[in-house]
């Protein structure tokens, strides 16, 4: 049965940690560290001695960090089930930007019309200044 977000929303931190350890590939290690500014989770492997850490993230909320770690691992195990937002978009061709012509733009509104509107408002409230 596939996991749902509703099901994961009810997991405790211990449930999430158990799911991580259950889905951990052979030879991998999951580490959770307490830091002064929050928490740090990481996956490491002994297969590649040059780069033993495969994934790492910091967060001040333990639950958010554990869910992020679980979802990263779940995506690694189920690469075909990727949300469409994570599919790479094809590159779009660049559009030419043409320089504007040198003729000045006409004002959107006539300044005399604007003055007449404000003077009518001032006359209505008795605040004409000239």
Q: What is the pLDDT of residue 43?
A: 93
**Is residue 27 left, alpha or beta, with left meaning phi > 0 and alpha meaning psi from -120 to 50?**
left
- Spatial distance between the Cα atoms of 36 and 32, rounded to a whole number of angstroms: 13
How crowded is residue 71: how many other Cβ atoms within 10 Å of its Cβ?
13
Cα angle at 68 between 67 and 73, to 5 degrees?
95
- Cα–Cα distance for residue pair 38/24, rounded to 1 Å: 23
The whole-number pLDDT of residue 68 equals: 92
All structural domains of the chain, each given as residue ranges with its CATH number in brackets, are 5-83 (3.30.160)
* pLDDT at residue 1, rounded to an integer: 55
Structure-block tokens of residue 112: 């005399």
Can you give the pLDDT at residue 103?
67
Per residue of the chain (130 residues), give pLDDT as tens. Answer: 577 888 888 899 999 999 999 999 888 899 999 999 999 999 998 776 677 888 999 999 999 999 999 999 988 887 776 667 766 677 888 888 777 666 666 667 787 888 877 776 666 666 655 4
The pLDDT of residue 47 is: 72
């Amino acid at each position: 049965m596939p996991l749902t977000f509703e099901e994961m929303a009810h997991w405790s931190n211990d449930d999430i940690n158990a799911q991580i350890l259950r889905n951990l590939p052979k030879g991998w290690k999951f580490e959770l560290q307490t830091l002064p500014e929050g928490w740090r989770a990481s996956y490491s492997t002994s297969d590649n001695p040059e780069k033993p850490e495969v994934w790492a993230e910091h967060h001040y909320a333990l639950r958010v960090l554990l869910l992020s770690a679980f979802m990263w691992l779940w995506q690694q195990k189920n690469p075909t089930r990727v949300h469409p937002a994570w599919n790479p978009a094809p590159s779009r061709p660049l559009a030419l930007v043409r320089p504007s012509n040198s003729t000045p733009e006409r004002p959107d509104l006539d300044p005399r019309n604007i003055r007449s509107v404000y003077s009518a408002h001032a006359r209505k409230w008795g605040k004409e200044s000239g």
